[in-house]
């Protein structure tokens, strides 16, 4: 009996966790990542009483994600489910009278537009186009709806029934043919993770009551951004009088190496291949047209430097007539602000706009005015990452808010120029979050050459400062990106910390949200000042009394993956490196990537001629003789941004050098790993590899 009690006590001690967690809480697990409900795309009703939003749910066993529409009361905060499906309902948009919601869904087999009344009843299908329909919007009077469909351009000037039948026939012939050859005659022939197949994104207009849509942008050109870099808001809108569509058009030529996106205009009657270009005087990018409530002004974003996708976005305004034609010269109302405009929406007074912009590793909210020179920064308490701004006619603002301790939830706040506390409407993840032991990230400033680098430090559950803890050093992608106080389902810092690591998230030169000069500093210098900043970050961390210098690993994706490959030849401070879809060989990368403008800006042109040295100087493959660190490589077949050959080249090199290495390839994923089961496997493999070389937990 006594021996049994002693044995029981020993078992308890051996099985007890090394760390002491917050009372009643536990560390986050990989399974938890898929238990969270994913909130997006809030849209406030015209009267400001309701917000419709999308809730996506992961079914890990079925390896699928479904999404439904929910409604929240802005007054009482009560929520209710509006649609019920195991498919995907998304992109909800209110009718001008606030009685119906237009949305897209694949519930009928492919993606079409549907309409549902907010007071209940079944949704009715609006479109049956064989090339599918997405991104539906209303005209101001509620009589028309516009949407996007990817069609074969050679049929686009024919009557709808004929062109739709020809598109269907072409699709079926491709599917049934035993010959799967693809024939390419130009760039882009593939983009991000898909083959374009000579299709073009066209805009269609139809009656809100139903009937035949008409292609109002016929021809061999995209009328909708195929690159998310140049996309903001809905990207197209009806003119105030409802007679035209004003939209973001892809460059008419050289689209794989040009960033000359323009604001264009076409009549909704259709029939013309000649689009009126409203921003022809700007050789750089223009996008995201939004008319003021009084219909007298147009706002949009613009860059100044052609070919540079990470140039500062400025908010432009211009007086227009009721059809959307420019009456004056566009002017920037954010030119004196050292921030890059992200999203924006007009205030009901048609004199002010609310916008978001990255600032100091947060997504901040500003008010800017047509009449006042100085912008006004909303002092939102605990800002985190604010996104998806929209405004009602009474000036209420709906958005999502995410933090490193919380996935996105729907919130509202007042548009008045006074301190605002966000009112949280959705509570989809409150119960799960209440179970988890999470630390708030600490923001520190690291001295670097000529200034400071911001860095987040996130401590693990059960952190004991008296112990030594291993470090996971994560480098973000971009390179023109940033680690914000936000939430990610692809690289979730809290999940990394829950494995038993102190997680550091540095924002070195090239990061966004710290001024355009800071962004520009990385162009042509990927392995230079940015690398120096990252090493300064490691210096800072090694001086902390709780960091174990003998247990440090680093990981990153995209540019972060590049930096892991650069670390291989330039530092031995880490016990292991994990690289996901990173550039290894700049020369071969240029000829294989889809968006050529990116490499041409970063290196000053193509890799032939006088710019060749730029491709050679900071290419990791040229330093293979110095590789020493065990490395995990993940690279995917459908990654057309950083093609999979980069991973093959790196793995071959490491194997030939005899360096411990492992290559994980997902043939059905692109630049990211998005399918639930693939994502689960990714996390299991990444954390297992990290633990092999960097044992977790405090000692």
Compute the average pLDDT of residues 409-434.
Answer: 86
Lowest mean pLDDT of 71-80, 366-375, 682-691, name the range: 366-375
- pLDDT-derived band of residue 612, with 50, 70 and 90 as boundaries? confident
> Closest by alpha carbon to 43, among 390, 342, 424?
390
Q: For residue range 636-676, what is the model confidence (pLDDT) as tens digits?
A: 999 999 999 999 999 999 999 999 999 999 999 999 999 99
> Closest by alpha carbon to 111, among 95, 124, 127?
127
Compute the average pLDDT of residues 450-459.
Answer: 96
- Residue 39 tokens read as 């909130």
Reply yes or no on whether the pLDDT at 371 is more than 60. Answer: yes
Question: Crossing angle, helix 529-542 and helix 559-570, to 10 degrees?
Answer: 70
pLDDT of 14 reads 36
Q: For residue range 273-291, what is the model confidence (pLDDT) as tens digits?
A: 789 999 999 999 999 999 9
pLDDT of 192 reads 86
Those residues whose C-beta lies under 8 Å from the C-beta of residue 562, and which sit 6 or more positions away, are 479, 526, 556, 582, 583, 584, 620
Burial code (b: 16+ CB inside 10 Å, e: under 16) for 104-118 equals: bbebeeebbbbbbeb
Compute the average pLDDT of residues 579-605.
Answer: 95
User: Per the omega criterion (within 30 degrees of 0), is the bond before 654 cis?
Assistant: no
pLDDT of 2 reads 39
Cα–Cα distance, 76 to 348 (Å, whole number): 23
> Closest by alpha carbon to 200, among 191, 211, 210?
191
Cα–Cα distance, 503 to 489 (Å, whole number): 16
Cα–Cα distance, 170 to 141 (Å, whole number): 36
pLDDT of 381 reads 60
Compute the average pLDDT of residues 37-66.
Answer: 97
- pLDDT-derived band of residue 271, with 50, 70 and 90 as boundaries? confident
Compute the average pLDDT of residues 475-501.
Answer: 97
Compute the average pLDDT of residues 113-117.
Answer: 98
pLDDT of 669 reads 97
Q: Going by DSSP bridges, is the β-strand pair 276-277/362-369 parallel, antiparallel, or unpaired? A: unpaired
Three-class DSSP category at 416: coil
Compute the average pLDDT of residues 237-247.
Answer: 98
Rg of the chain on CA atoms, in Å? 26
pLDDT of 553 reads 98
Beta strands in 404-458 (DSSP E): 406-414, 423-424, 442-448, 451-458
Domains of the chain and any CATH numbers = 433-693 (3.40.50.1820)
Burial code (b: 16+ CB inside 10 Å, e: under 16) for 295-312 equals: bebbbbbbbeeebbbbbb
pLDDT of 19 reads 61
Percentage of residues of the chain with pLDDT beyond 70: 95
Those residues whose C-beta lies under 8 Å from the C-beta of residue 98, and which sit 6 or more positions away, are 45, 46, 47, 118
Q: Are 42 and 48 in contact (CB under 8 A)?
A: no
Reply yes or no on whether the pLDDT at 357 is more than 80. Answer: yes
> Closest by alpha carbon to 40, among 421, 394, 359, 402?
402
Residue 576 carries which DSSP code? E
Reply yes or no on whether the pLDDT at 89 is more than 90. Answer: yes
Those residues whose C-beta lies under 8 Å from the C-beta of residue 496, and which sit 6 or more positions away, are 458, 472, 474, 503
pLDDT of 21 reads 76
Reply yes or no on whether the pLDDT at 107 is more than 80. Answer: yes
pLDDT of 6 reads 37
Reply yes or no on whether the pLDDT at 233 is more than 60. Answer: yes
Bridge partners, residue 265, by sequence: 246, 276
Q: What percent helix, strand, coil does the chain show, rounded to 5?
A: 20, 30, 45
The Cα diameter of the chain in Å comes to 94
Reply yes or no on whether the pLDDT at 13 is more than 50. Answer: no
Compute the average pLDDT of residues 544-563.
Answer: 98
Those residues whose C-beta lies under 8 Å from the C-beta of residue 517, and which sit 6 or more positions away, are none
Q: How many angstroms separate the Cα of 655 from the Cα of each of 320, 368, 454, 648, 659?
A: 62, 56, 36, 11, 6
pLDDT of 203 reads 98
Q: For residue range 150-183, what is the model confidence (pLDDT) as tens digits?
A: 999 999 999 999 999 999 999 999 999 999 999 9
Three-class DSSP category at 281: coil
Q: Are 693 and 550 in contact (CB under 8 A)?
A: no
Residue with tokens 């829950």: 498
Would you list the DSSP string of 161-210? HHHHHHHHHHHHHHHH-S-------SS-SEETTEE-TT-EEEEEEEETT-
Name the more confident of 196 and 310.
310
Name the more confident of 16 and 440.
440
- Residue 35 tokens read as 């238990």
Cα–Cα distance, 199 to 188 (Å, whole number): 10
Q: What angle do CA 466, 468, 474 make, to 5 degrees?
A: 125
Other beta carbons within 10 angstroms of residue 98's beta carbon come to 17
Cα–Cα distance, 592 to 587 (Å, whole number): 9
Those residues whose C-beta lies under 8 Å from the C-beta of residue 339, and which sit 6 or more positions away, are 312, 357, 358, 359, 364, 366, 513
Q: What angle do CA 85, 90, 96 make, to 5 degrees?
A: 115
> Closest by alpha carbon to 392, among 98, 77, 47?
47
Residue 380 carries which DSSP code? B
């Amino acid at each position: 009996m006594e021996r049994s009690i002693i044995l029981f006590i020993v078992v308890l001690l051996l099985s007890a966790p090394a760390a002491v967690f917050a009372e009643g809480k536990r560390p986050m697990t990989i399974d938890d990542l898929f238990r969270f409900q994913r909130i997006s795309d809030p849209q406030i009703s015209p009267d400001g009483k309701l917000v419709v939003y999308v809730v996506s749910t992961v079914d890990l066993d079925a390896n699928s994600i479904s999404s439904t529409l929910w409604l929240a009361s802005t007054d009482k905060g009560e929520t209710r489910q509006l649609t019920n499906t195991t498919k995907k309902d998304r992109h909800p948009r209110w009718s001008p009278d606030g009685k119906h919601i237009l949305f897209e869904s694949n519930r009928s087999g492919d993606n079409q537009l549907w309409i549902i009344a907010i007071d209940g009843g079944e949704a009715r299908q609006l479109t049956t186009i064989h090339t599918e329909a997405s991104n539906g919007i209303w005209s101001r009077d509620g009589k028309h709806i516009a949407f996007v469909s990817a069609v074969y351009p050679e049929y686009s000037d024919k009557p709808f029934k004929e062109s739709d039948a020809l598109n269907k026939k072409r699709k079926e012939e491709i599917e049934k043919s035993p010959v799967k050859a693809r024939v390419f005659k130009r760039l882009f022939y593939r983009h991000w993770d898909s083959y374009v197949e000579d299709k073009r994104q066209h805009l269609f207009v139809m009656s809100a009551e139903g009937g035949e849509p008409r292609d109002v942008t016929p021809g061999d050109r995209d009328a909708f951004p195929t690159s998310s870099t140049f996309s903001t808001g809905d990207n197209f809108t009806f003119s105030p009088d409802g007679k035209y569509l004003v939209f973001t058009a892809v460059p008419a030529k050289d689209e794989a190496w040009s960033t000359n996106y323009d604001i264009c205009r076409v009549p909704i009657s259709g029939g013309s291949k000649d689009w009126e270009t409203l921003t022809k005087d700007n050789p750089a990018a223009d996008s995201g047209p939004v008319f003021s409530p009084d219909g007298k002004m147009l706002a949009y974003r613009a860059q100044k430097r052609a070919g540079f996708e990470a140039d500062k976005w400025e908010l432009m305004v211009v007086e227009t007539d009721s059809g959307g034609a420019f009456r004056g010269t566009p002017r920037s109302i954010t030119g004196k602000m050292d921030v890059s405009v992200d999203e924006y929406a007009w205030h009901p007074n048609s004199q002010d706009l609310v916008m978001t912009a990255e600032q100091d590793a947060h997504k901040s909210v500003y008010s800017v005015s047509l009449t006042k020179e100085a912008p006004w920064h909303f002092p939102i308490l605990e800002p985190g990452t604010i996104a998806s701004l929209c405004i009602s006619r009474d000036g209420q603002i709906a958005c999502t808010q995410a933090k490193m301790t919380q996935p996105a939830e729907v919130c509202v706040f007042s548009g008045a120029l006074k301190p605002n506390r966000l009112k949280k409407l959705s509570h989809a993840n409150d119960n799960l979050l209440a179970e988890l032991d999470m630390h708030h990230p600490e923001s520190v400033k690291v001295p670097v050459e000529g200034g400071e680098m911001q860095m987040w430090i996130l401590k693990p559950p059960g952190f004991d400062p008296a112990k030594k803890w291993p470090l996971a050093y994560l480098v973000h992608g971009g390179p023109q990106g940033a680690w914000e106080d936000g939430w990610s389902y692809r690289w979730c810092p809290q999940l990394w910390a829950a494995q038993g690591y102190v997680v550091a998230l540095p924002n070195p030169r090239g990061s966004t949200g710290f001024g355009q000069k800071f962004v520009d500093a990385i162009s042509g210098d990927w392995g230079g000042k940015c690398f120096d900043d990252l090493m300064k970050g490691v210096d800072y961390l090694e001086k902390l009394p709780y960091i174990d210098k003998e247990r440090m690993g680093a990981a990153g994706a995209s540019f972060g993956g590049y930096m892991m490959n650069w670390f291989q030849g330039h530092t031995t401070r880490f016990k292991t490196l994990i690289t996901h879809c990173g550039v290894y060989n700049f020369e071969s990368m240029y000829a294989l990537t889809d968006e050529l403008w990116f490499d041409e800006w970063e290196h000053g042109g193509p890799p032939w001629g006088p710019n060749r040295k730029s491709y050679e100087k900071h290419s990791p493959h040229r330093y293979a003789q110095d590789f020493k660190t065990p490395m995990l490589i993940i690279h995917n077949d459908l990654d057309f941004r950083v093609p999979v050959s980069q991973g093959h080249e790196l793995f071959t090199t490491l194997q030939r050098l005899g360096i411990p290495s492992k290559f994980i390839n997902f043939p059905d994923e692109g630049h990211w790993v998005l399918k639930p089961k693939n994502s689960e496997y990714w996390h299991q493999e990444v954390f297992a590899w990290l633990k092999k070389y960097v044992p977790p937990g405090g000692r």
